[in-house]
């Protein structure tokens, strides 16, 4: 008989904590003593002042107090390896010394102007950021969040083309403002009110769950997948469905843009069959639309092979949206496009109160410097390859792991009921995450059924950190398998 969940978890943690403590990588950083409210007071404050919709991630909530590079510390001083990076936001490391120093220097000089005035940091930063882009992608709008960036991208696409309708992919996430309720196609984030008109969702080209399967640009392929030498043969089938959507549902001649992440993030690191994005862009262009690449999670070297995820697909977007890792946790985002498209924005006035403020610009510039100076992209490539290989070994041992996928340090592990593709239930996933957390590893989750482990750590992690994470995950999957 299976023990009760709470007792089982307590006994498991008690047996394994001391054993795994010896394998955790060394860290010389000593966190400050926590002097904040006690747990009971925090619970009271949350209940009284925070929106009820903002749930805790863990059954036993974490009270995080301090961070250093890939490590987080709770109020008791316990150390955790952060494999989720504040939802794929901490790019070069928590409180990276160079980024922190840049913020301190600027904060003592000037906090705020606004976009109607000139400040050198803004221009220095946008020049440096634009230099990372190929072709004519040289005009940079600085904003504050990924939602705001994608909202602005819809305006630019509509202003330039004179068209209104926009296509995104099923199960995508592009933000949660009222104007983006139609663009986002993840049901969990779609409020039950009428969405704005003019948004359509194309069939998701998913090699693991899609009806035609396919092969992807990853070291890990779906068991039994094809191995096409170039473009995947299935990409044409998914493109046919996109064409059917354009021919049957979108008013002819009204397409403004096609939005796509280069790897779906919130949906659990979904990669598309090779060649799909390039063919989708070519098709949409024939109908008069632009291609908007959402690089909110995949940008800044996270996929390893290239600085931007779209470069892995051999495409040149018309508009690119950036956020999260761009500021290493500081509120900063951007839209990058061509001068020709930006010119259409002059049909109305525009300014942004906080976008590109001196603090954000100083941080953004420091992040780019660190990525270059510390070879962060190369680290994502090398450590990411090592990580996915270790995850593939775990997949061979545990039937609960249905799929392993991703590039660089943008990885996903889809959990299923053993011997099937049925998604593992939310309770099972929660138990696995809780055990991993109590053993010192924080992992995210996502996917349509919330059954995918999202592994997107700060890009400063090393192979020793991966070994520790794999040891913990091996222990957790072993315990879960034995008790279910």
Query: Strand pairing partners for 261?
Result: 294
Residue 76: strand, helix, or coil: coil
What sign does the dihedral 339-175-248-284 (CA atoms) show?
positive
**CATH top-level class for 99-373?**
alpha beta
Distance CA 206, CA 7 (A): 39
Residue 337: strand, helix, or coil: strand
CA dihedral 222→225→228→233, nearest 10 degrees, is -110
- Residue numbers in the chain where pLDDT is lower than 50: 1-3
| DSSP notation for 139-203 | EEEEES-HHHHHHHHHHHHHHHHS--EEEEETT-----SGGGTTT---GGG--SSPPPSSEEEEP
Quick: pLDDT tens for 218-228. Answer: 999 998 999 99
Asked if 410 contacts 302 with a C-beta cutoff of 8 angstroms, the reply is yes
Asked if 334 contacts 321 with a C-beta cutoff of 8 angstroms, the reply is yes
Domain with CATH 3.90.1150.10 in the chain: 5-92+376-482
Contacts of 323 (CB under 8 A, 6+ apart): 145, 146, 149, 296, 332, 333, 334
For domain 5-92+376-482, which CATH number applies: 3.90.1150.10, 3.30.70.1140, 3.20.10.10, 3.10.20.90?
Answer: 3.90.1150.10
DSSP code for 416: B
Quick one: pLDDT at residue 190? 87
Domain with CATH 3.40.640.10 in the chain: 99-373
Quick: pLDDT tens for 418-434. Answer: 989 999 999 999 999 99
End-to-end CA distance of the chain: 10
Distance CA 184, CA 169 (A): 8
Asked if 478 contacts 394 with a C-beta cutoff of 8 angstroms, the reply is no
Quick: pLDDT tens for 77-117. Answer: 999 999 999 999 999 999 999 999 999 999 999 999 888 88
Helices (H), 22-163: 39-49, 85-88, 97-107, 120-130, 146-161
By DSSP bridging, strand 79-82 and strand 71-74 are: antiparallel
Distance CA 182, CA 137 (A): 27
Query: Given the structure tokens 């992209």, which residue do they identify?
Result: 377
Give all strands of the β-sheet with 401-407 in edge-to-edge order.
Answer: 401-407, 410-415, 452-455, 444-446
Quick one: pLDDT at residue 478? 97
Quick one: pLDDT at residue 116? 84
Quick one: pLDDT at residue 315? 97
Q: How far is CA 202 from the centre of its chain?
A: 21
DSSP code for 347: G
Quick: pLDDT tens for 193-206. Answer: 888 999 999 999 99
pTM comes to 0.94
- Determine how many CB atoms are found less than 10 A away from the CB of residue 173: 25
Quick one: pLDDT at residue 274? 97
Give all strands of the β-sheet with 64-68 in edge-to-edge order.
Answer: 64-68, 71-74, 79-82, 441-442
Burial of 228 (0-12, 13-18, 19+ CB in 10 A): middle
Quick one: pLDDT at residue 2? 44
Contacts of 142 (CB under 8 A, 6+ apart): 115, 122, 125, 126, 332, 333, 334, 352, 355, 356, 360, 361
């Amino acid at each position: 008989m299976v023990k009760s969940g709470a007792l089982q978890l307590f006994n498991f943690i008690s047996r394994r904590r001391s054993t795994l403590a010896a394998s955790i990588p060394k860290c010389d950083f000593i966190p400050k003593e926590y002097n904040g409210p006690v747990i009971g007071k925090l619970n009271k404050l949350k209940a009284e002042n925070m929106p009820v919709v903002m749930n805790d991630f863990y059954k036993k909530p974490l009270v995080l107090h301090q961070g250093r590079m890939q490590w987080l510390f709770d109020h008791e001083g316990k150390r955790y390896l952060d494999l989720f990076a504040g939802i794929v936001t901490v790019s070069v490391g928590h409180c990276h010394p160079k980024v922190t120093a840049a913020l301190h220097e600027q904060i003592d000089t000037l906090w705020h102007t606004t976009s109607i005035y000139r400040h050198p940091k803004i221009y220095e930063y946008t020049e440096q950021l634009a230099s990372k882009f190929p072709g004519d992608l040289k005009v940079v709008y600085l904003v504050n969040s990924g939602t705001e960036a994608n909202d602005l991208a819809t305006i630019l696409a509509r202003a330039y083309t004179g068209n209104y309708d926009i296509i995104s992919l099923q199960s995508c996430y592009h933000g949660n403002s009222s104007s983006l309720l139609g663009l986002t196609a993840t049901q969990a984030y779609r409020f039950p009110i009428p969405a704005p008109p003019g948004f359509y969702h194309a069939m998701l080209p998913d090699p693991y769950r899609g009806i035609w399967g396919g092969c992807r640009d990853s070291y890990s392929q779906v068991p039994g997948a094809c191995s096409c030498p170039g473009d995947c043969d299935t990409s044409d089938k998914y493109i046919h469905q996109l064409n059917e959507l354009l021919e049957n549902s979108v008013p002819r001649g009204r397409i403004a843009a096609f939005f796509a992440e280069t790897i779906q993030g919130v949906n659990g690191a979904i990669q598309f069959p090779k060649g799909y994005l390039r063919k989708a862009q070519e098709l949409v262009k024939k109908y008069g639309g632009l291609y908007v690449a959402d690089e909110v999670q995949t940008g800044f070297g996270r996929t390893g092979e290239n600085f931007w995820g779209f470069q892995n697909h051999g495409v040149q977007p018309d508009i690119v949206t950036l956020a999260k890792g761009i500021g290493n946790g500081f509120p900063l985002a951007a839209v990058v496009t061509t001068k020709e498209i930006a010119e259409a924005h002059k049909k109305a006035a525009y300014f942004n109160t906080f976008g590109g403020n001196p603090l954000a610009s100083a941080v953004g510039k420091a992040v780019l410097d660190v990525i270059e100076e510390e070879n962060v992209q190369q680290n994502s490539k090398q450590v990411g390859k090592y990580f996915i290989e270790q995850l593939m070994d775990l997949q061979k041992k545990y039937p609960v792991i249905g799929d392993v996928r991703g590039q660089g340090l943008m990885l996903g592990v889809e959990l299923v009921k053993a011997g099937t593709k049925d998604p593992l239930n939310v309770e099972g996933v929660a138990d696995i995450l809780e055990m991993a957390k109590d053993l010192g590893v924080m992992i995210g989750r996502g996917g349509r059924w919330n059954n995918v482990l999202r592994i997107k750590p700060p890009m400063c992690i090393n192979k020793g950190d991966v070994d520790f994470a794999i040891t913990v995950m091996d222990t957790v999957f072993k315990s879960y398998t034995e008790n279910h």
